[in-house]
Amino acid sequence: MLRRKDIVLLGATGSIGEHALRVVAAHPDRLRIRGIAARTNWRKLAAIAEQFSVPHAAIFDEAACREAKTSGCFAGRELHCGMEGLCAIGELPEADIVVSAVVGTTGLVPTLRAIEAGKDIALASKEILVLAGRFVMAAARRRSVRILPVDSEHNAIFQCLQGNGDPTPLRRLILTGSGGPFRGATSEALEAVTPERAQSHPIWSMGPKITVDSATMANKGLEMIEAYWLFGVEPEQIHVVVHPQSIVHSMVEFIDGSILAQLSPPDMTFAIQHALFFPERLNSFAETLDFTRSMQLDFEPPDPERFPCLRLARETLSAGGILPAAYNAANEIAVERFLDHNLRFTEISRVIEHTLNHLQNRTPTSVDDLLDADAEARRIAHTYGS
């Protein structure tokens, strides 16, 4: 009899959360949810708790948490509030694995606490590794817990690396990216992009922040930094190629010139299911690739001129220190301002560049040091245009 895994879902109400719930619903005898968390959306969280009989929930926003408590919708369950609440459910003694899918960097502390409590992590939140990859990976090694990538590109690379030696004789990692909705757009057309148009991704259905990141290609930049920490390669070994169909999720080239790729439809349930069950493989429940119909797979180099976020990420990764954290923080501020109609699409990269130019780089000594750098970068990012 195969054991059932107990999971905690941080970011349960989001896009990754929804896909993870579909995986759980498809394997009720193998997965059970013990804790769920969100920022404010307590009504949706209560519905999830009810549907999946979840005993613990956490709401980050204190006011929303109070409202949820008085609503009675969580009667019979433990409802935790604030950052401590998120940490408490990540540390639940009965949990085997924590899905870290809070957008942005708020999930860093709960994820670190879950690692310290010995939980495996299914990691969707790339911002956590961009901010503090050195400390997250060190904590995972020290506690012998697994960081299992959920991001489809990194999950693909993780799959390609299995069984290929340790250390793996690899030459390079090739991250694929759809190129987003403005892949073929001219520089002039990019100047006129609105938040509404940036939200219409041609392939993936995701949360608002990552959808904008995908349109600017900052997402691929963040993923380069994420890959650096996850796979311990040199920055020059990480390459990016545009692949509009998003069927090849990424590739690994070995020193003998062979390339392994992982393919599946552009549906996050594949990567989530893989991460939750690794090293076991279970039947897929989603539609798989159909080779009885003709299919085209295109690859083209990205254009760093029209998509400067990619170039800035590479420079940031090479420089190291606190700059990756600053890149991420500045991008978050810029995307917020863009979504609020307070910044043009093409200014997102300029906010990042402005922030990187005004920050003195240094080697971070601790997570707190990085959180300080993150706060400093956010302050600088806000000064753009003033």
Ligand X SMILES: NC(=O)c1ccc[n+]([C@@H]2O[C@H](COP(=O)([O-])OP(=O)(O)OC[C@H]3O[C@@H](n4cnc5c(N)ncnc54)[C@H](OP(=O)(O)O)[C@@H]3O)[C@@H](O)[C@H]2O)c1
* Matching residue, tokens 């613990």: 56
Q: Within a 13 Å sphere around the CA of 153, how many CA atoms are in the beta-carbon half?
A: 27
Question: Which of residues 79, 103, 272, 348 is near ligand X by CB under 6 A?
Answer: 103
Listed in sequence order, the DSSP H helices in the chain are 15-26, 42-52, 62-71, 82-90, 108-116, 126-143, 152-161, 187-191, 195-198, 208-216, 218-231, 268-277, 308-319, 323-339, 347-357, 367-382
Q: Does 204 bind ligand X (CB under 6 A)?
A: yes
The smaller minimum CB distance to ligand X, of residues 126 and 362, is found at 126
Stretch that binds ligand X, among 37-45, 140-148, 170-178, 351-359 (CB under 6 A): 37-45
Q: Does 333 bind ligand X (CB under 6 A)?
A: no
CA 131 centroid distance within chain: 12
What separation in angstroms does the CA of 295 have from each of 265, 267, 271, 289? Answer: 12, 17, 21, 10
The smaller minimum CB distance to ligand X, of residues 81 and 193, is found at 81
* Residue 373 burial class via C-beta count within 10 angstroms: exposed 0-12, middle 13-18, buried 19 and up: buried
Give me the least distance between CB of 20 and ligand X, in Å please.
Answer: 9
Stretch that binds ligand X, among 199-207, 235-243, 306-314, 341-349 (CB under 6 A): 199-207
233-272 binders of ligand X (CB under 6 A): 268
CA dist 96 and 383 (Å) reads: 43
Q: Does 7 bind ligand X (CB under 6 A)?
A: no
* H/E run at residue 235: none
Q: Does 114 bind ligand X (CB under 6 A)?
A: no
121-150 binders of ligand X (CB under 6 A): 124-127
Stretch that binds ligand X, among 6-14, 181-189, 240-248, 250-258 (CB under 6 A): 6-14
Q: Does 37 bind ligand X (CB under 6 A)?
A: yes
- The residues binding ligand X (CB under 6 A) are 11-17, 37-41, 60, 86, 101-103, 106, 124-127, 151, 204, 206-210, 268
